[in-house]
Amino acid sequence: MIYSPPSADSLAKLKLELGLSSTGMAELFGVSNGRQWRKYTGSEREISAQILFFAMARLELDTETVERILQRMRQVGANIELAPE
């Protein structure tokens, strides 16, 4: 895979477009908390393709499809529950 992460400015712009708090973005991207999210928008850390994919999938896929994927993850042994929207 060839991957170049979006810039911190692009991620900050996405946050504004979505109208979410840092905590909301952390939940969407599946990271621990708003402080962790701010590391991506403060140029402290580049966002991985996996984390970015997870968030974009949640934005683009319907709830049923996301749940089907989560169920598949559970079938291979993962324990995962997303925060309520």
- Max Cα distance, the chain (Å): 37
| 49 part of a folded domain | yes
| 28 part of a folded domain | yes
According to the model, what pLDDT value does residue 3 have?
96
Q: How many domains, in total, are found in the chain?
A: 1
| 22 part of a folded domain | yes
| Rounded-to-integer distance, Cα 68 and Cα 45, Å | 31
Tens of pLDDT along 28-83?
999 999 999 999 999 889 999 999 999 999 999 999 999 999 999 999 999 998 87
Two tokens at 84? 């309520």
Residues in Cβ contact with 73 at an 8 Å cutoff, skipping those fewer than 6 apart: 80
Residues in Cβ contact with 53 at an 8 Å cutoff, skipping those fewer than 6 apart: none
| 32 part of a folded domain | yes
The answer on pLDDT for 85 being more than 80 is no
HSE, side-chain direction, 13 A CA sphere, residue 28: 21
